[in-house]
Chains A and B, each alone.
Chain A
Amino acid sequence: MRFVHGHTGIPSFVSLPLPGISQPCEAESAGRATTPQLREFTQAISHGDEQAFNRFYDLYSLRLYKYLLVLAHGNESEAREALQTVVVKLARNFEVFDEEFRLWGWLCRIARNAYVDLCRARRRDQRFVPLDDCVADVAEPRRADHRLSSALQSALLVLTGEELELMRAAYVDERPLQELADASGQTYKAVESKLGRLRRKLKSNLLRELTREESQ
């Protein structure tokens, strides 16, 4: 089935929320639900629809990056390099899927292969390094999610109760910064910069946790 474009030339699904793929948590809960829109969506990408690819990229780039970050044990530069390879590969060749978990499984496999290739290139001199060991234990997407989750829990322990509350209010409850500033009696700028500091702190703790898991 060929995807039909609308009058504006924009595929109709681009503006629609895609159940099961816009929210990873929903995808987890939806399990093996078949999404007809997903087929059209992936088909459009495989036919070279740039807008569909844009949408896909917005939905999946950060998720892929997180997966790669776990594979790379918190090494940001390696994860980013592998992500670049993955994204270019996906732009050149995309398969059609009916189910989100299959799509995500395929993406994870591509990401894993890209990371293994990167490792191989990096460790070309060290012939006897077993490359599979560095990814085998977290290759499965669920395990990677679990590892990321546990790393986050450990990283959150470093934050104080007040800091954690602020993070939750801003990023989980998505309360406006002005409201938070008014509630805490601070200026908008002060809250904004505090959140920036907290984000950086959380990130560095998270990466440290992921790195520590590797050494353990």
Chain B
Amino acid sequence: MKSLNKFSEEEALLNAALADESWQSLNSSLKRHALVAMCARNRKRRLRLWAGQAACTAALFTGALWWLGLLPQPAVKPVNSRQIIAAGVAQKSETPLTSATAVHFISETEMLAMFPPGSCVVAEINGQKKLVILDPKIAEAGFTVADVGR
């Protein structure tokens, strides 16, 4: 108890000696400084909180729109022209392509010229144009696969 009393006595005397007028003015200006710093920190915190909330709301809103399918679908861009040609040929001819470089469109006349004359004709059956082979043996002899690429 005695040491406690001594401690408080020392404390009181120290406070009396050190807390003079210059300390009082310093004290109040420091407090002002500190409160300004605290206000700035609070402002920053609030701003960060609002920014976070706004970002979350925007993300949620966009997600909801996407979920409901209200967002415009982005146009799918083809990778290159070869793929377009390949896709077109695949659709038209319904024959598997071994190489994209083999794609070559020919006209009806060119096609008939590849066969020996009189071996086949182009006829319209049920409104659709079809190649009719008249004599398969002659046609087979006259047709070469290598010629297609030319």
Residues of A within 8 A of B (CB): 23-25, 28-29, 48, 50, 53-54, 57, 61-62, 65-66, 69, 80, 83-84, 87-88, 90-93, 148-149, 152, 155-156, 167-168, 170-172, 174, 199-200, 202-203, 206
> Given contacts A28-B7, A172-B9, are A152 and B14 in contact (CB under 8 A)?
yes
A172 to chain B, nearest CB (A): 5
A69 CA / B9 CA spacing, docked (Å): 19
Pairwise interchain contact A48-B18, C-beta atoms closer than 8 A:
no
Pairwise interchain contact B18-A87, C-beta atoms closer than 8 A:
no
A170 CA / B12 CA spacing, docked (Å): 10
A179 CA / B47 CA spacing, docked (Å): 56
Pairwise interchain contact B33-A88, C-beta atoms closer than 8 A:
yes
Pairwise interchain contact A203-B7, C-beta atoms closer than 8 A:
no
1/0 contact string of B12-23 vs chain A (CB within 8 Å): 111111111001
Kindly identify, within residues 31 to 57 of chain B, every residue whose CB is under 8 Å from any CB belonging to chain A. Answer: 31, 33-35, 37-39, 41-42, 45
Pairwise interchain contact A24-B11, C-beta atoms closer than 8 A:
yes
> Given contacts A83-B30, A84-B33, A90-B34, are A172 and B12 in contact (CB under 8 A)?
yes
A156 CA / B19 CA spacing, docked (Å): 17
Pairwise interchain contact B16-A48, C-beta atoms closer than 8 A:
no
Which of A54, A57, A65 interacts with B18 by CB under 8 Å?
A65
B25 to chain A, nearest CB (A): 11
Pairwise interchain contact B14-A148, C-beta atoms closer than 8 A:
yes
B45 to chain A, nearest CB (A): 7
Pairwise interchain contact B18-A88, C-beta atoms closer than 8 A:
no
> Given contacts A28-B7, A66-B14, are A48 and B41 in contact (CB under 8 A)?
yes
A149 CA / B8 CA spacing, docked (Å): 11
Pairwise interchain contact B27-A61, C-beta atoms closer than 8 A:
yes
A23 CA / B9 CA spacing, docked (Å): 12
A152 CA / B6 CA spacing, docked (Å): 12
For A155, the chain B residues whose CB sits under 8 A away are 17
The residue on A at minimum CB distance from B41 is: A92
Pairwise interchain contact B37-A92, C-beta atoms closer than 8 A:
yes
For A61, the chain B residues whose CB sits under 8 A away are 27, 30-31
Pairwise interchain contact A25-B7, C-beta atoms closer than 8 A:
yes
For A57, the chain B residues whose CB sits under 8 A away are 30-31, 34
A135 to chain B, nearest CB (A): 20
For B113, the chain A residues whose CB sits under 8 A away are none
A53 CA / B31 CA spacing, docked (Å): 9
